[in-house]
């Protein structure tokens, strides 16, 4: 059974009032970081971009909205809901138990290339490369992607209105004449 703390400090199992709300976290990160580097070895080159944030909170309203143990017989539910009581009719209500760490580390871009210099006068060099975007994300956030909107009227709320970033791969050749 879900319990809530009211503004006066007492505990209740009924739906809380808006006057019982209090600040529980900050959507703005304490640190935004990024690192890019180029490595060269003989004809090979590697370029990477790593970025992330630390110290922010995300309200996982998507998980809260799907957290209805009564629906377990009718539709798919999150594994989080399996631990809920079937008699808890307030399990879906927004509370700080759906407030999660928004810190993440993302390998945003990596390009590996090889430059070949043929012994001809018409072609100076050929560079073969492979690029990948959004390779991986390391986070403890249980939602789709911890990189939610940090601006507007509701910053840091994942509320079923987020489309995840795609992972892309590119193969290419660059020729210098």
- Determine what percent of the chain is predicted with pLDDT higher than 70: 91
| Domain parsing of the chain, residue ranges | 4-176
Residues 29-61: pLDDT tens digits?
A: 999 999 999 999 999 999 999 999 999 999 998
pLDDT of residue 50: 98
Structure tokens at 122: 């018409």
Burial of 148 (0-12, 13-18, 19+ CB in 10 A): buried
Tell me the pLDDT tens digit for each residue of 70-116.
666 667 777 777 677 667 767 777 888 889 999 999 999 999 999 99
SS3 state of residue 156 = coil
- Residue of higher predicted confidence among 71 and 133: 133
23 vs 89, residue with greater confidence? 23
Distance (Å, rounded) from C-alpha 123 to C-alpha 66?
59
Cβ(105)–Cβ(52) below 8 Å: yes
Q: What is the pTM of this model?
A: 0.81
Residue where the block lists tokens 């199992």: 13
pLDDT value, residue 72 = 66
């Amino acid at each position: 059974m879900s319990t809530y703390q009211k503004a006066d400090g007492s505990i209740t199992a009924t739906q809380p009032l808006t006057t019982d709300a209090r600040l529980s976290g900050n959507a703005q990160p304490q640190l935004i970081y990024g690192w890019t580097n180029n490595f060269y070895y003989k004809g090979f080159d590697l370029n990477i971009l790593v970025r992330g944030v630390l110290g922010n909170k995300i309200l996982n309203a998507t998980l809260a909205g799907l957290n209805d143990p009564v629906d377990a017989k009718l539709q798919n539910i999150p594994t989080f809901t399996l631990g809920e009581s079937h008699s808890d009719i307030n399990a879906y209500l927004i509370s700080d138990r759906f407030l999660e760490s928004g810190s993440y580390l993302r390998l945003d871009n990596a390009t590996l290339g090889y430059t070949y210099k043929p012994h001809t006068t018409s072609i100076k060099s050929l560079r073969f490369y492979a690029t990948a975007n959004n390779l991986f994300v390391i986070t403890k956030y249980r939602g789709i992607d911890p990189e939610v909107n940090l601006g507007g009227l509701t910053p840091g709320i994942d509320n079923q209105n987020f489309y995840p970033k795609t992972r892309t791969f590119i193969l290419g050749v660059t020729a210098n004449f």
